[in-house]
Amino acid sequence: MPTSALVTDIGNDILYEVAPNRLIGWVAECLDRLVRIDAKTVVTELPVVSVSQLSQGRFLLMRTLFYPRSRLTLAAAQSSVAEINAEVIKLAKERKQTVFPVQNRWYGFDPVHVLRRYHRQMWSEILLRWRPDQPLSELGRSSLAESLYLVTLPPRERKFFGFSRWRVQPSGVLSDGSTVSLY
C-alpha cells in the first residue's frame, strides 16, 4: 500500500535536554526508514521564529509549567532549535522529502504549539503536499468519532510519570482501512 508519513514535533525533546546531534540522528534514522519503504514524507520545520522571539520570562514560565525538571537556558533552547531546524531541512532535502514551513502567525503565547484556530489551515496545507493533484474537498473530513479516536491513539513509546510505556504499531485503523502509526 502507498504510505504517507508526517515527521513533526521534532523539537519536543530539546527541553528534556537531549543533545541536538542525538535528535538529528533520530530524525535521520526515521527518514532513512521511510525512504526504504518509499513513503511520501512531509517533514515540518521547527518554529524557529516563534522561539527566537521568546522573552526570558515567558520561556521560564513555559519551561517551568511543562518541563519542571529542565534547566535549559533560553539561549541554549534558541540555539538548539535553529541548529536542529537547519539540519532537519538538509536531511529532508538530501532524501528528496517535502519540507513543510511553519508560519509564525500560527503560534500564540505557547511558542511551539499551533493555535487551534490554525489547525484546519495547517492540516489542509500538509494534506495538499501528499496529494497535490487531489482537491481538498475530495479528501473528506473526519467524523467527530474518528477525530476523537485519532487523538486517543498511543505512540510507540511515551513516558508517563517517569515510566516508559510501549505500544505495538500500528496503533489504529481508520474506517477506510488505513492504518495509523505514531512514533
- Distance CA(107)–CA(12), nearest Å, equals 15
Tens of pLDDT along 84-109?
Answer: 999 999 999 999 999 999 999 999 98
Q: Are strands 172-173 and 98-100 parallel, antiparallel or unpaired?
A: unpaired
Residues 118 and 159 in one domain: no
Kindly state the cell numbers that stand for 72: 535549559
% pLDDT > 70, the chain: 95
Residues 172 and 161 in one domain: yes
Q: Domain count for the chain, please give it.
A: 2
Beta partners for residue 180, in sequence order: 172
Residues 108 and 151 in one domain: no
- Distance CA(51)–CA(85), nearest Å, equals 12
| pLDDT range class, residue 136, cuts 50, 70, 90 | low
pTM of the model: 0.79
Q: Are 173 and 179 in contact (CB under 8 A)?
A: yes
Find the domain containing 100 and state its range: 4-141
Q: Quick check: helix, strand or coil at residue 141? A: coil
Query: What's the confidence (pLDDT) of residue 140?
Result: 58
Q: Are strands 163-166 and 172-173 parallel, antiparallel or unpaired?
A: unpaired
Residues 101 and 179 in one domain: no
Q: Which of 157, 158, 9 is nearest to 81 (CA)?
A: 9
Task: Check whether 142 has a pLDDT greater than 80.
Answer: no
| pLDDT range class, residue 127, cuts 50, 70, 90 | confident
| pLDDT range class, residue 149, cuts 50, 70, 90 | confident
Residues 126 and 155 in one domain: no
Residues 92 and 160 in one domain: no
Return all residues near 37 (Cβ < 8 A) that are at least 6 apart: 3
Q: Which tops the pLDDT comparison, 132 or 145?
A: 145
